[in-house]
Amino acid sequence: MKKEIKTDKAPKAIGPYSQAIEANGFIFVSGQIPIDPATGEIIKGSIEKQTEQVLKNIKAILEEAGSSMENIVKATVYLSNLEDYSKVNEIYGKYIPSPYPARAAFQVARLPKDVGIEIEIIALALKK
């Protein structure tokens, strides 16, 4: 059985998908890009600011599901420029505690709305 997770504290989906789905003890969070949920506007500027917004969006979705950043088991990071990898790691490490989840990171040709980063995660559906 699957359950849709939806919150106004994260950006609305910009296509036919859910912010997240809970199924079989896991939460699958759709790729989040740096959109401010209050304004619906893309966060422009540094990759650090963009990464911070993406992680805030993920945190809001997980909290809506009754989970937390501590319960992330897998993350996939998509970057428009792999040169930003170390800057992203700096912000990522401030939001996601040790033991760190498994992770993959890729440079891609293009991301939605021409942002610099998108992150999708899988987390345990457990309360903190």
> Domain spanning 2-124: which CATH class is it, in words?
alpha beta
Q: What is the structure's pLDDT at 14?
A: 82
Which of 107-114's residues contact partners 24+ apart within 8 Å by CB, and which partners?
107/79, 107/80, 107/81, 107/82, 108/78, 108/79, 108/80, 110/80, 111/33, 111/78, 111/80, 112/14, 112/33, 113/14, 113/33, 113/35, 113/42, 114/80
Q: What is the mean pLDDT of each run of 10 residues along the chain (128 residues)?
A: 96 93 97 96 96 98 97 98 98 96 97 96 84
Q: What is the structure's pLDDT at 115?
A: 97
Q: What is the structure's pLDDT at 70?
A: 96
* pTM over cut 0.85: yes
**In the chain, domain spans:** 2-124
Q: What is the structure's pLDDT at 127?
A: 57
